[in-house]
Structure 1
Amino acid sequence: MNFNASRLARSAVFAALVAAVAGCGLPRSGPNKREIFAGSVQRQGDAFVVSVNERVTRATSVVPALGFSSSFLNAGVVGSDTIRPGDTLGLTIYENVDDGLLAAEGVNATVLEEVQVDGDGFIFVPYAGRIRAAGNAPETVRRLITEKLDAQTPDPQVQVRRLAGDGATVSVVGGVGAQGVYAIERPTRTLSAMLARAGGLAIPSEVARVTVVRGDHEDEVWFEDIYRGPRADIAMRGGDRILVEQDTRSFTALGATGTQNRVDFDTRSISAIEAIARVGGLNTALADPTGVFVFRNEPEEIAEQVLGRTDLQGTQRMVYVLDLTEPTGMFEARDFVIRDGDTVYVTEAPYTHFNKVLGALTGTLGSANSLDSLAND
């Protein structure tokens, strides 16, 4: 009886120690499944906890939709020879006499370099006066000058060259090889050509976003779409501003994963399974594959689709649950799209907590035995 009583007493003490240690704040990576579900709206919490299935995946598959509006797409290519205010022209005038109006003695040609088109669109040519240049091609300007000079010198021959398109320029800044202001000329009349003129991309093309500002309008497109569809390679206009920047979206991975970190998007879209892979996958010593959660603030319209409701107001806190052990679990994780600002959290397996309790308990008992031995010595 004494032996049984002693054994029962030791069992009771052990159970008490287990309960005491389990009640202590043992180290862990975050909440367990039970605690997350306890925060659901169904249990008087403030978040909707939803298991991911095909319908949920379809409703939440939202990727930033970028593209140019019709005003950008329908703009025609600017004629490479059209002169604009601010352009610089070069003129050469040949006279069919030895003593001409413009040429020096013994020379029958006069070269006028860097003739600036003024703000009103005119240039001044000696003996021809003010000539309308803006809106005309060099050939038209040549004809106008010839007509003006024809009455003063016999059979003048005129050449007009557009030297620089300072009046029709585009500024390119951001993630390009050479930021600067570039003229719209024959080789740079489209967006792709202008980006090439600026040295191409200095950031990964997969996550490069190109913004074009034209007057009061601003549109954005993925860099790769400029080459995938010819319509996205829009025509340039004088005064356009082009900004090339890297995608700033990111998600955070926490819990029983290989690493816990903030991760930038390196492709247009990332699935849940890809997000886990980017942080080293599940920690095989800790992770519970039935407890993969995605925390997100969901817009009202998407939340209503997911929940099948029409009475929600404003952004909703949503917790999406993925069970990788289900027959279709890996497929659902492969198809579920991660969005900007998401938190991907993997819970620890239940046995992990038990191991921590047992380790803490055996460590505590070992320390107590050591102290007892020292005291007896």
Structure 2
Amino acid sequence: MRFAALASVVLLAACALPRSGPNKNEIFQGAVERGGNTHIIYVNDHVARAASFAPSYGFGSDFTSAGSVGADEIRPGDVLGLTIWENVDDGLLASLGQSNTNLQELQVDSAGYIFVPYAGRVKAAGNSPDELRRLITSRLSAQTPDPQVTVTRIAGDGATVSVMGKVNGQGVFPIERPTRTLSAMLAKAGGVSIDPEVAVVTVKRGGNTGRVWLKDLYANPRFDVALRPGDVILVEEDQRSFTALGALGGQTKVPLGSEQINAIEAIAMVGGLSSNLADPTGVFVLRDEPMSVARNVLGQDVYGDQRMAYVLDLTRPNGLFLARDFMIRDGDTVYVTEAPYVQWQKTLGAITGAAGTANALNNTVN
């Protein structure tokens, strides 16, 4: 009776033993060869090279081949500001005792015109601010002596871009002569408000999107693309990361940062393998591979994204070198299995603990 009770306690304890996740054999049970849906691949030199694909940031030809906007050309939707000085005490526009008149926020209509008192409906679109100034001056000269006119452009619906996100001054900005490129417009918005090392700049133009690291934008003139009316610029902190689980020094979601990291570095970033728990033959990198990469890795035709579990055996003669050559990507899960003896230790602990509990109960009854 006592033995049966003890065996029941031990069995229940063994079934409920805590652990950090599946062991190596349990992961292998999900292999495609065993009816599962995961390709389990031991990493070798070929696999490390074939899987080293990394989606890079940058701009396509639709961005890099776009020419600069004629920044001085007024467009329908632009908002203009006019200041008119008259060389008389009692002018056409100025109030008594004033020498100038400010006409602010004159929006260029869809046909390209603005209305200026005493000058009438004036064609603004297609002209530069200086050309429009001369045109308005000419029209007013017939009615007031020696008028002086200035024309300024204000952000409107014309040649403007929107700057949002982690910048010091969000807003809608006109494309002007000094701000026709991406870097100049970011400077116009006050620069970024986050660490430049992790800042990513996205430009959306119609249905196309380009993305670049801020530090690459400043280092490579090719990324300093010309802006077009309607562009949306977003500055944000890089969101790429990998997840570390299992018998590691820490289990957490880890930002990748701006640099590529390999499997060794990824493990080191969370404190390395747990010396008391980890199985160095069972380091897994789990990811969904795009079809082109999966075909190169597997050497066969597959269709669609493929679920892959890459196995790194650090105990092999070149295991550490292979782990150093295997690059980690956004969305990866780095999982380290527990060593088989760990479960034996836990089982023995459960047995001895259960036996001690049974003896205690027996002594209490007696």
TM-score by length of 2: 0.83
Query: Counterparts in 2 of 1:23-172, with a 5 A limit?
Result: 24-85=15-76, 86-93=78-85, 110-114=100-104, 116-119=106-109, 120-149=111-140, 156=146, 158-166=148-156, 167-172=158-163
Change (3 A) 1:325 1:102: same
Structure 2 residue 341 is the aligned partner of structure 1 residue 362: no
Q: What's the secondary structure of 2:184's corresponding residue?
A: helix
Query: Counterparts in 2 of 1:297-336, with a 5 A limit?
Result: 297-310=288-301, 312-336=302-326
Name the CA distance, whole Å, in 1 between partners of 2:353 and 2:97: 109
Change (3 A) 1:94 1:260: same
Give the alignment partner of residue 168 of structure 2, picking from 177, 196, 201.
177
Change (3 A) 1:202 1:371: same
Q: What's the secondary structure of 2:62's corresponding residue?
A: helix
Give the corresponding residue for 2:342: 352
Aligned residue identity for 2:161: V
Name the CA distance, whole Å, in 1 between partners of 2:262 and 2:365: 60
Aligned residue identity for 1:208: A
Deviation at 1:286, TM superposition (A): 0.5
Change (3 A) 1:39 1:116: closer
Structure 2 residue 283 is the aligned partner of structure 1 residue 292: yes
Identity %: 56
Residue by residue, what CA displacement relative to the aligned partner does 1:139-184 show, whole Å, maximum 9, x if unpaired? 3223323444555667x35333315243433222222233222233
Contact 1:165/1:185, CA 8 A, preserved across alignment: no
Deviation at 1:98, TM superposition (A): 8.4
Q: What's the secondary structure of 2:236's corresponding residue?
A: strand
Give the alignment partner of residue 190 of structure 1, picking from 181, 185, 191.
181
Give the corresponding residue for 2:242: 251
Aligned residue identity for 1:328: N
Gaps of 5+ in 2: none
Residue by residue, what CA displacement relative to the aligned partner does 1:216-238 show, whole Å, maximum 9, x if unpaired? 43333333321121121222333
Bigger shift: residues 122-131 or 24-33: 122-131
Change (3 A) 1:338 1:99: closer
Change (3 A) 1:294 1:103: closer
Deviation at 1:60, TM superposition (A): 1.4
Aligned residue identity for 1:248: Q
Bigger CA radius of gyration = 1
Aligned residue identity for 1:170: V
Residue by residue, what CA displacement relative to the aligned partner does 1:12-37 show, whole Å, maximum 9, x if unpaired? x9xx99x9689634222222222222
Aligned residue identity for 1:362: T
Name the CA distance, whole Å, in 2 between partners of 1:212 and 1:276: 34
Query: Counterparts in 2 of 1:5-20, with a 5 A limit?
Result: none
Q: How many residues align?
A: 358
Name the CA distance, whole Å, in 1 between partners of 2:62 and 2:240: 28
Give the corresponding residue for 1:274: 265
Name the CA distance, whole Å, in 2 between partners of 1:219 and 1:71: 9
Deviation at 1:336, TM superposition (A): 1.5
Q: What's the secondary structure of 2:282's corresponding residue?
A: strand
Contact 1:300/1:316, CA 8 A, preserved across alignment: yes
Contact 1:253/1:344, CA 8 A, preserved across alignment: yes
Deviation at 1:321, TM superposition (A): 0.4
Contact 1:21/1:357, CA 8 A, preserved across alignment: no
Bigger shift: residues 266-275 or 315-324: 266-275
TM-score by length of 1: 0.81
Give the alignment partner of residue 227 of structure 2, picking from 217, 228, 236.
236
Deviation at 1:348, TM superposition (A): 1.0
Give the corresponding residue for 1:8: none
Contact 2:105/2:154, CA 8 A, preserved across alignment: no
Contact 2:106/2:114, CA 8 A, preserved across alignment: yes
